[in-house]
Amino acid sequence: MYPVSYLISELRKPLKDEIADNLVNQLARRSGAADLSTLALDEREPLSLRMAIARALVILYGNGKGDRSSLRLLAEMAKSSHAGVRTAVADALSAVQTDEAIALLHGLKRDDHPSVKRAAYEALEEEASPF
C-alpha cells in the first residue's frame, strides 16, 4: 500500500479542490502513520479523512498511479461501521469501471443505510429502489 508521504506528494500536484486540500493537510499532520491503509481502516480517525482517502484512491487509480491494492483497500473501507465511509466508497467507485468495482457497488446496494444504497445505485446509474 502507499506510504502516506507518497500520497501527500502525489495529491499536491494535480488536485486543487477542497477535499484534496483537506486530505493533504490531515495526512501531513498524521505523517507518522506507516501507510494509507492504517489511516483508512482506523475507525478512530476522522470521518472526513477516511472519506477523502476513498476519493484519493480512486483518483490515483484513474490517473494510472494506483493498482489493485487501491480497490482492495476500498473493499475493506466498504465494511466500515460508519455509513459515511461506505457512502464515500460508493461515490468514489462511480469513477471506476472495472468488474471488481461494479461488484463492490452491487454489494453496497444491499447496505442497511439508505445513503449508502442511494450512492451505490447512483454510481451504477440505476434508478434507486424506494427506501
Residue 106 has what pLDDT? Answer: 95
Residue 75 three-state SS: helix
> Could you tell me which residue, 112 or 54, shows the higher pLDDT?
112
Residue with cell 506528494: 9
User: Are residues 45 and 23 in contact, defined by beta-carbon separation less than 8 angstroms?
Assistant: no
* The most confident of 16-20, 51-55, 65-69, 106-110, by mean pLDDT: 106-110
User: Are residues 87 and 115 in contact, defined by beta-carbon separation less than 8 angstroms?
Assistant: yes
Does pTM surpass 0.75? no
What is the tens place of the pLDDT at every residue in 8-54?
565 555 555 565 556 656 665 665 555 677 778 888 888 888 888 88
